[in-house]
Structure 1
Amino acid sequence: MVKLYHIGSLILCLLLSFAVQAVEISARLDTNEVSVGDSVKLTVTVDEQSSGKEPDFSPLNQHFEILSTVQSSTSNIINGRYSATSSWILTLLPKQKGYVAIPPIQYNNVFSKPLKLHVVKRASSTTQAEDFLFLDASVDKKEVFVQEQLIYTLRIFRADIDIFDHTYNPPDIKNGVMEQLGEQRNYQTTIGGRIYNVIELQYAVFPQKSGKLDIPSAEFIGTVFRSRSRTYNFDPLNGRQVRRAAPELQINVKPKPASYPADQPWLPARSLQLEDTWSPDTGTANIGDPITRTIKITAEGLLTTILPSLPETRIKGVKIYPEQPENSSTSGAKGIISSRTVSQAIIATQAGEVELPAIDITWWDVDQQEVKVTTLPAHTLTVSGSGMQSQTDSNATPSLNTPANPKPTPTAAATTPGISSTWQWLAITFFLLWIVTGSVLLWLFLKRKKPENTQLETNSNNNETSLKAAKEELEKACRENHAHKARNAVIQVFRQHWEDSSVRNLQHISQRLAYEPLTLALDELDQHLYRRDGDSDAAWNGSTLLSIVEDSLNQPQAAPTTKEPLAPLYPV
């Protein structure tokens, strides 16, 4: 028993030692380049539960200001194996411009790999930096060739406000194709001493006509609430719908250069590659046996719609059967990356060596401003075989025991036709009985289900009708600025929306929904109704309440409480 105890302790120590040695730490940035005044997010991850420990972030203080730190942990058991990770997300503000190093981060006795961040000078901006909400737009080039990729960047700046019921309209570009690049990016920046939350969107724009390309304004519309206004004091900004537009831009689009070959399709790209794969990849083939060749064209900065088709190839000794091309595109760090994949079935028809010619694609290098040709080298295929089916001894020599004209052997069905016919009729009879029985059971089920479905449909229609009537009553009361009618209509709207007759007052709605804009609007209505001067409908404006109630119907309910401590103050 003692010996088993010592063995178990030894195994446990070995496992713990292995776990300590296996700990790894990694660090990554959400972007490798930011402007002066912009924040960047650094994520540090270790593959164990931290248990109160955290990495040493003090080396970051030399070049960064740590604005915030958020920690999270996850653990999983998959196929009996336990795994855990702990992550820290730091929001960093660079203190200087240029190339700034992210030093190795230490956790226990392990270090992360160092990273490099490029902090560039902010371009001069004419935006309304004193405003609480504004848009800015920029492009990476002021002049491009027709169908050349152009990167359009839109930024939405927001300071000290909450925005609800917002709508964003990207620019509608004529004579151009626009595609969004990846997901939006969120970060913070400081302009004129004010901290802004920034939403950044990037698009790839492909002009389709030479001349002047106008990029109209992108628009942002929303209802604004000031973040620091949490009291009942009147704030003219709260509940106000605002509209902001980005500056318009104009780009010079040049036609295809004269030095480009007139007999080749126009392909302005940053890079273009050709590659092929073979299955089987032996370099040899037999006559009549198909082999598959897959050719892939990959271009950076081009739309898939203008990728060229492969030239038709007619070669003596082989037949080529191409399949339908497959097109795809992804978003990269420098725009769109498009690809076209073509599979060909190649069947040799004669023996010998067959040479498949090289494939050339001419394109325009937008970085070097010159014509280039990408080539897929020629391929030699060695074909063997005679093209005739080989005969074996079994099919070439007839059997000596087989007569020249063998007589057919009578089968069991031929000798006993009565038995076979009886079983066929029995099978048909049972099949027909099965169909009739199934039809009767289906008819009885549908007959029984129909009243229940009709009742559910009736109840659903009645509830929709009541909810529509309550909304119309609320709209009428808000349009007439009648506070008392609006209060009763709001309660009826949420009663019908939740199908709950226990909704009795405005406080009950606020507690159950926990939606802050609605809470502020209902508190304002309640204070207006029960103020001491008695004239509760004198100066109340219902347009804000109507908009917020409509938006609140899409919000989830808060977790229900076990009991209501006090009776409602103003029951219906």
Structure 2
Amino acid sequence: MVRKTFIPSLLSVLMAALLMLLATPALAAFTASVDRTVITQNETLDLTLRVDSQSFRSQPDTTPLKKDFDILGNRRSSQFQMINGKTESWTDWIITLAPKRAGATTIPALSYNGETSEPIHIDVRHGNTAAGSANSVSPVFMQTSLSRQELYIQQQTVLTLKIYYNTQLVGDSSLTPLEVNGAIVQQLGEVKKYEELVNGRRHGVFEVQYAINPQESGTLTIPSLSFTSSIAAGSDPYNNFFSMQRARPVRAQSADIKLDVKPVPNDYPANAPWLPASNLRLTQKWSSNPDDLKAGDSVTRTLTIEAEGLTAAQLPPVTLPTIAGLKTYPDQAQNEDLSGPEGITGKRTEAIALVPTHAGTMTLSAVQYTWFNTTTGNVEQATLPATTITVAPGNTLATHTQPAPAATTNALPDSVSTQTNAPLDLGAPITKRCSSLPWMIATAVFALLWLVTLGLYIRSRKVLRNDVVDSSPSPKTSESLSEKATFQQLQQACQKNDLLQIKQQFIVWAGCFNNLDNLYSLSAAANSFGHQELKDLLNSLEQSLYSGKSENAFDSARLQAIVSDLRKTHVRKKSDPKDTIISPINP
């Protein structure tokens, strides 16, 4: 009898509890709380939203938080307990927030299932990015420094960013990419990882450097960067594996930096390309001694320009005058950017084959490269002195007929004598005599090889002639150079109406814009767009360059307008850059 009474009673209790759980959401209270109300701009806080019921599918709308905060993390936990026959259940959403700005901020009221939470006032104070922040409660902070605060347009400055942390980072870490309006930005090398003592306390450090070249004068703003990661929320008494699941997001943010960018000095030559560098070297080397040249021989002259603080794309080609009696065959210029702690050093290498057509004395004019020394503030000239070479007469051949020996079945081949200094007599026939079949076969083989060599020589001369027509072919588009940078270089060439620079920069920009690495001619670059007006305009550019017409005959402003329209309407053939420049980094 007791057993029969107990079973229905237990079922009644369970049914009542189930009905209470199902009915509770309609009456459940919804509240909001934070772990602290005073933080710095570089710190985060945890907002806990609680509803007094079990919620498995729906969740509160957190969109209003995005006005003043970045949402770094969102996790949910559900609890159920019974004490002295009284049951309680609730669901928590723990949201990690990072303030977007300093000052008084309010977490707005949020709604869930008809219930509304109370707003919460937060005091966000300015964070300190200096090394003294080691005394702050923040486990992660950032420090920035510039190699120079005041600089000229296109002059390079190096931004060094250090991320300090004094606790274990778990999971992946990321840094927002640096993008500066009106400047070319390049990262220098990989992210460095080391340790540093700050105020007697050991910190792990991530260091990354950027080379920044402003393209506009005036005030330039380097925006703040954000570093996000996760730290262990507390010790776990069971296993380190579970600590990964108890991680708490953390973020550090750098401050904005203002730069004063000065224009080109008034005393800089107007007809010279603007080259602001801390140092520039112009060197040359020869493949052999030019004083040993003979008419018809060739020698290669290699010119190298190295500029500290400039990219290779900013270095213009060397201008060499035409010399009577000396043919020149320039090779494709080689560009290279060398990264170091002091920034980028651009290196341009030009190789020119020289072939004298006759004997005599020839003078190679001095080579001058105008640049601006950013250390001294002076206009300087990198110069190679004039070189005088004496070309000796080339080797010529003449043959004469030898007396015929007696005819015998075992006679040796005729001997042929050469006279090196006598001119070749094209009117006198050259007689040869073979007295054996092997010699005749050998002669035929040598004649065939001579014809093949002659054909290859004629073909190579045609290629060299084509190279002479375009004496300064544009290099391949560098993957490290952005389309924005090449477009700005093209705009500057158009503004100066420098036809040779316009041609070279258009080829470079077209290859970068269309993701083509095999553009070496202006016609190929124009055909890559399929724009008839652009083709006609570039044809007139070629005519102005090589027909001796005035530069005023070419409409560079129209080219600039067409290219600007193409950037807006033409679809680029490249993928979007990734937002994260730091791979997953673990200390």
TM-score (norm 2): 0.45
* Relative contact order, higher structure (CA 8 A, sep 6+): 2
TM-score (norm 1): 0.46
